[in-house]
Amino acid sequence: MSTENEGTPDPAEQAAPSAPPTPPVPPKDAPQEAPQPASAPQPASAAQPTPAPQPVSQADEPTTVQAPVPAAPPAPEPPAAVAPAPAPAGGWPPPPPAVPAWGTPHPPVPEAPRRRTGGLVAAVLVASLVAGGIGGGIGYWAAERGDNGFSSTTVSSGQAPASFKRDPGTVAAVAAKALPSVVTIQAKSGAQEGEGGTGTGFVYDQEGHIVTNNHVVASAADGGTLSVTFSDGKTYDAEVVGRAEGYDVAVLKLKDAPKGLTPLPLGDSDKVAVGDSTIAIGAPFGLSNTVTTGIVSAKNRPVASGDGSGGSNSYMSALQTDASINPGNSGGPLLDASGAVIGINSAIQSTSGGFGQSQAGSIGLGFAIPVNQAKNVAQQLIRTGKPVYPVIGATVNMNEKGQGATIASQGTGGTASVTPDGPAAKAGLKAGDVITGFDDHQIDSGPTLISEIWTHKPGDSVKITYERDGKTATATVVLGERTGDS
């Protein structure tokens, strides 16, 4: 039922000159007892509807509006302008809709439901606005109470338990324990320009030895300066104890080592499994004490830094990880979930397809020297200052790939490709033989063969699979040794 006719208790006081004849006006209290038709024309008082009936004077008639426009009633006009408006029905029968209130043909009877629908739509819109207003009011009230300190629904970190501790094995716990033993290395050459770079290292022992990559300190090895900064900001001068270009490992020692150094524990890289969690700590692009995480993506990945053809290149049968490694991470530790070192971060894959020690940035292909190999090299450097390499005593082609490692027709400078009375010669290998297997690892190139050889020690016996004249054969080779970088 429309609310447009509510609040008109005295229809006898309103004139309706254009309305058809109507029955005599009932007593003034009759409109309150008789039902009001939904299609009756609207009186002026409908512009301001109220739930309770109130008297309406003739001066209010010009303000009569239709329900779809409740927000802005028109200004009062002279009585003549509204003379056609129909008189309120009260308890009368519904008047014929021949003459509307505005002097135009009255819409047919079915129009009334549309007017009610319009009123309903208006009511819905108003309800929505009111609901929004209530929400805004509540929000303002809550904000005002919060501003006054009466109440708050937030929980500050100060309400956390004071005894909160991170469980062992979480990244945060591992990082917190390892960071004091990881250092940022600043290397400057002895040249007038003072060229150098930034890398990472970690505490190897309590005597102040720091393990890092050779390429991190190479520029300062001859007449340059080295400084080491710990996570607490303390800086110490350092010197090179020994370098191994082929392994890309170097050992430094602090000149005035502080007491209480905590070496990082060394893990077992042979027991690492693909999918194990990894944590890398370093100073990518000079951002010291940066921690990144990932997994072991692959093992025994043959990697040659640079183009793999120069004598100063390094080779490794690397641990591959997707932990973010960037320039500056070099020499830093790759940790397992327990916080033990399983590798030394050394190289990343570039988008151009080559391996390198310093590329544009991480694409999720990082490579670390297995810690078992790095440990052997570090011990050699601390003892003698020089690296020792295992060898087979044969020169192999470094450019071919995919068919194995082919023993060259001649060695460097026209020497024999197979060292007389060397390990390969004693095993019966000859120039032209194609080595396709080293123990249980497949060999597809010369760099891959060297990477596998250097995971062993001099004196180790290894099985080599090779092809000669289309036939496959095997031989046992006892690895020899070479001291120093050639």
Catalytic residues: 215, 248, 330
C-alpha span between 65 and 149 (Å, rounded): 49
C-alpha span between 354 and 233 (Å, rounded): 36
Helix (H) or strand (E) holding 240: strand 235-244
Helix (H, G, I), strand (E, B) or coil at 378: helix
Locate 198 and state its tokens: 């930034």
Residue 473, number of CB atoms within 10 A of its CB: 13
Helix (H) or strand (E) holding 215: helix 214-217
End-to-end CA distance of the chain: 104
Task: Name residue 369's beta-bridge partners.
Answer: 344
Q: How far is CA 274 from CA 294, 298, 299, 336, 444, in A?
A: 11, 6, 7, 12, 21
C-alpha span between 289 and 280 (Å, rounded): 10
Helix (H, G, I), strand (E, B) or coil at 197: strand
Q: What is the DSSP letter of 286?
A: G
Closest to 397 (Cα-Cα) out of 387, 389, 407: 407
Closest to 295 (Cα-Cα) out of 377, 230, 214, 365: 365
Q: Which residues of 309-320 are buried (b: 16+ CB within 10 A; e: fewer)?
A: eeeebbbbbbbb
Residues 6+ apart with CB under 8 A from 200: 182, 183, 184, 185, 212, 216, 281, 282, 283, 328, 329, 330, 331, 332, 333, 345
